[in-house]
Amino acid sequence: MLTGIDPVLSGELLLHLDAMGHSDAVVVADAHFPAERLAQRLVVLPGLETPRVLAAIRSVLPLDDSPALDLMATPDGGELPVQLQLMKAAQVEASGTRFVDRFAFYDLAEQAYLVVRTGETRTYGNALLRKGVVR
């Protein structure tokens, strides 16, 4: 156990977050996401919602420049409550958020350094962050 570290951040997850370089991406995915097929590296955190996991990751991960956050766009282009919670958890305003078509999001996820699949059951509860420079 470490002090000052969110308990959601397992040793395996911290290892991967630490190994990420500048501009490497981490996807925090809902339970519906095809993580096994797309991920180069996969950490599974069942039972946790994506905003909770995203907030824990943001407690140790600085963000890259805009767009700081990519979210999977809904077919009608509306913003769902889970997406608003993801923006808040990422500490990113709407102006720093990019909404990406579902299949384009899958393409980004396939290139991501890490995918973290959660137990989130709400649809479109997926976020992609790029690691910034640690100062």
Q: Which of 123, 135, 63, 122 is nearest to 98 (CA)?
A: 63
Q: Which of 104, 117, 103, 123 is nearest to 43 (CA)?
A: 117
Residue 93: strand, helix, or coil: coil
* Catalytic residue set: 22
CA 33 from chain center: how many Å?
12
CA atoms within 13 A on the CB side of 114: 22
